Amino acid sequence: MENKIITLAIADDELLFRQGLIAILSKSKNLKILFDAVNGNDLMQQLRSCKELPEIVITDLKMPELNGVEATKLIRKEFPDIKIIALTSYFSKPFIINMISIGAVAYLAKNSTPKLMQTTIHEVAQKGFYYDTQVMTFIHEGLINPADKKMKSKFDNTFFTKREKEVLQHICLQKTTTEIANDLCISPRTVEGHRNNLLLKTESKNVAGLVIYAIENKLVSLELNKF
């Protein structure tokens, strides 16, 4: 995975910030920036006309003409395989919950370190999503009413097999396919099979959707990483 080239597109209306981000990411040998855009409209136009689609789009939320929120909605509709990392100065619970609900698979503050930016990109490419502890806490608080946390879920646990629930638990711990296979003593191919079954059963479009589904139905608990 380390040698795999990860293709990117960047959208941000702040020229200095955008050029700085490009300069930082260009130093990584396995990151390839296909193009950059000045706003959501520019981003969508380039996506619709480019010969090679990026694997990941990093987009600012606040941009003129078409902001990152609306651009994310369009990308999820027209290019569902593209993974979206939301980049913004507004690192707050409402913004995070909204972006994740419409399809962002990671959320980064603009004052994040270059190391965190690169880590997030690689985690998203490898696992399909990346939520740090703070973001996961926001998701948990945003989807589950604190007053209901102690209530037993009415969800039918027989909907999933025992192994599927084990794989889902490990996915929510943000483990790779190889790590899950090693932990459960099964093959990576078997892990992928269970993941595909989970996607079908939950009607989730991506791995990030599985995490949201698990939290919404109280199948996992973020407290002390216990399930």
* 131 shares its domain with 177: no
Last residue of a domain, one of 141, 159, 189: 141
Compute the C-alpha angle 101/167/224, nearest 5°: 70
The answer to whether position 79 is within a domain reads yes
CATH number of the domain residue 27 falls in: 3.40.50.2300
Contact 73, 102 (CB under 8 A): yes
Q: How confident is the model at residue 226 (pLDDT cuts 50, 70, 90)?
A: very low
The pLDDT value recorded for residue 46 is 96
pLDDT digits (tens, 9 = 90+) for 59-80: 998 898 999 889 999 999 999 9
User: Among residues 123, 120, 135, which one has the least CA distance to residue 21?
Assistant: 120
Last residue of a domain, one of 141, 172, 202: 141
User: Is residue 91's pLDDT more than 80?
Assistant: no
Last residue of a domain, one of 141, 176, 198: 141
Overall number of domains in the chain: 2
Strand order in the sheet with 6-11: 31-37, 6-11, 56-60, 83-88, 106-109
Distances (CA, A) of 76 to 18, 38, 60, 116, 189: 23, 19, 16, 24, 27
Q: How confident is the model at residue 150 (pLDDT cuts 50, 70, 90)?
A: very low
The pLDDT value recorded for residue 220 is 67
The pLDDT value recorded for residue 14 is 92
The pLDDT value recorded for residue 6 is 96
* 213 shares its domain with 155: yes
Domain extent for 22: 6-141
* 18 shares its domain with 128: yes
The residue among 55 and 199 whose pLDDT is bigger is 55
Compute the C-alpha angle 90/84/42, nearest 5°: 85
Which regions of the chain does DSSP assign to beta strands (E)?
A: 6-11, 31-37, 56-60, 83-88, 106-109
- Considering 39-48, 79-88, 171-180, 185-194, the range whose residues carry the highest mean pLDDT is 39-48
* 26 shares its domain with 134: yes
The pLDDT value recorded for residue 223 is 52
User: Is residue 149's pLDDT more than 70?
Assistant: no
The DSSP bridge partners found for residue 109 are 88
Q: How confident is the model at residue 222 (pLDDT cuts 50, 70, 90)?
A: low
- Considering 27-31, 35-39, 90-94, 196-200, the range whose residues carry the highest mean pLDDT is 35-39
Residue type, position 28, single letter: S
The answer to whether position 151 is within a domain reads yes
How big is the chain, counted in residues?
Answer: 227
pTM over 0.75: no
